[in-house]
Amino acid sequence: MAGGAGPPACAFRPRYPRRAGRLSAVFDGQLIGVDVGGTKVAVATLEDARLSDSLLRPTEGSSPEGLVEEVVAGVEGVRSANTAAVGIGVPSVVEFATGRVRSSVNLKLADFDLRGALEERLGVPVFVDNDATVAALAEAFDESGRPVVQNLVMFTVGTGVGGGLVLGGKVYRGTTGAAGELGHTMVGADFSHGVPPSLEFPQRGALESVVSGRILDRLAAKIAADSPRSALGKLAAGAREVDGNDAVRAAKDGDPEAIQALRTLGERLGIGIANALNTFDPDEVVIGGGVSSAGELLLGPARDVARRFALPGVGERSEIRLARHGKQAGVRGAALLAGLELSRGDEAFVSRREVEPA
């Protein structure tokens, strides 16, 4: 199925009666969670409040059709006769009501009806959301779909910086379904010569432009070039390019330059967290994503700066912590997404005519 205008509003949309899933101890049936990343697709099942191990497949990102094939193959590898629904998290801006991907930087999915394409192939309800929102679900709900945190702000620090919001025990997606792009909040714009020019995303001064895996890669490369006797410098002398993963390992081994690089990244992240505290006053701010593997080396400086820049009296009860579910967060959240939405019955299925102007 090609992108573009997409199928008409009458395209396949299964209709299911309202379930009592939100009120029962366990979701009905098998739920399948799919986490789509830049290099791999992870698939797992959630059934009887138990999450399976993930099945991994390489990401086919050259075309929407190729990605659909990979996801279908992954789902078919774990589904059973009891499969009730599929949830999928993608690193993209998603129009949640219809499951259409509106824009996508790392995957060729822009303006593509991913939900419709997958439902036609799989024959079960499919729900598509942003990957950071799905990760927030994983941190805010238990395996039975009950909220364990009422107000949670999620930062995913990986190649870029994503965000997810759970407010009042419900996912907050905003008017278009794209809320939570915390990486694109402005934390360092230079106004000395007026409003700076609007350039490509991430904008200069946005959180993602100063805090991300890419930025840690650059900090590691600079250390290697400037300090040849450092752990990173010695790695670079071995005729290989160093990156952020090397910086994290070196910092955990006690290398002072690598520790400082993570401190720098963490302090910058702390400004973004302070903005979240001042805006939402949440119960929890959770840091996930690949860079969070640095643990307290990243979180400690971030927490310290966030507390300094939060308005007195705001965020005093907010816990700032690392994500608990690690590599399983994506599939766990995607499966929870499927269960939570399926329990809403027909309300979960919105005609394109209801969200697009005539």
Query: Strand runs (DSSP E) across the chain, as ranges?
Result: 30-36, 40-47, 50-51, 55-58, 83-90, 93-95, 100-103, 112-113, 126-130, 152-157, 161-167, 170-171, 284-288, 319-322
Average pLDDT over residues 44-49: 92
pLDDT tens for residues 254-265? 999 999 999 999
- Cα 185–Cα 161–Cα 316 angle in degrees, nearest 5: 65
- Which of 39-53, 122-136, 333-347 is the least confident region? 333-347
Q: Under CATH, domain 30-148+327-354 is a member of which superfamily?
A: ATPase, nucleotide binding domain (3.30.420.40)
What DSSP string runs through 28-49? Answer: SSEEEEEEE-SSEEEEEEEETT
Rounded CA gap, 113 and 64, in Å?
9
30-148+327-354 and 152-324 share one fold: yes
pLDDT tens for residues 134-165? 999 999 998 888 899 999 999 999 888 999 99
Statement: residue 16 has pLDDT above 60 = no
Q: What ranges do the domains of the chain cover? A: 30-148+327-354, 152-324
How is domain 152-324 classified at the CATH fold level?
A: Nucleotidyltransferase; domain 5 (3.30.420)
pLDDT tens for residues 191-214? 888 888 787 777 788 999 999 999
User: What's residue 348's pLDDT?
Assistant: 52
Do 278 and 310 contact (CB within 8 A), yes or no?
Answer: yes
Do 130 and 159 contact (CB within 8 A), yes or no?
Answer: no
